[in-house]
């Protein structure tokens, strides 16, 4: 997923940045954005950070998302994000929020719709 601004025609080039990268072999699709979408992504992220009592195969105290030690930028920048002075549910967009955007865009793309199924005949 790539920010939909990368697919916006700014008139500066014959192809958008997203289309240029896709022509070179990338497989980017634009992120669905709407009014308040960042706040919705942040709320979803907060829900995943909270302990998940319904997490299959995990103790109930485990969160729905875990960061590995190699996720250095996410570990460094996400906890340091400040709230927006204008909207208490949003973040300060002047801060370094690239890691948060990448994580929340990925979460938006990866919908969890799994269910248990009984396999027979194996």
Query: 63 φ, ψ to 5°?
Result: -75, 170
Supply the pLDDT for residue 75. Answer: 95
Supply the pLDDT for residue 80. Answer: 92
- Which parts of the chain register pLDDT below 50? none
Supply the pLDDT for residue 55. Answer: 60
CA distance 1 to 111: 13
Supply the pLDDT for residue 76. Answer: 95
| Total count of domains within the chain | 2
CA distance 27 to 24: 9
- Domain of residue 62, residue span: 36-109
CA distance 106 to 19: 19
Same domain, yes or no, for 5 and 26?
yes
Same domain, yes or no, for 26 and 6?
yes
Supply the pLDDT for residue 114. Answer: 55
Tokens of 72: 């250095």
Supply the pLDDT for residue 117. Answer: 66
Same domain, yes or no, for 19 and 57?
no
Tokens of 104: 């929340």
CA distance 74 to 117: 35
């Amino acid at each position: 997923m790539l920010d939909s601004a990368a697919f916006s025609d700014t008139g500066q080039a014959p192809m958008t940045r997203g289309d240029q990268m896709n022509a070179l072999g990338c497989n980017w699709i634009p992120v669905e954005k709407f009014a308040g979408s960042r706040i919705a992504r942040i709320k979803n992220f907060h829900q995943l950070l909270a302990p998940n009592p319904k997490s299959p195969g995990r103790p109930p105290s485990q969160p729905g998302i875990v960061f590995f030690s190699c996720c250095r930028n996410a570990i460094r920048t996400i906890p340091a994000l400040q709230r927006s002075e204008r909207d208490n549910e949003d973040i300060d967009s002047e801060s370094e929020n690239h890691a948060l955007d990448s994580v929340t865009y990925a979460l938006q793309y990866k919908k969890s719709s799994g269910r248990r199924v009984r396999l027979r005949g194996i």
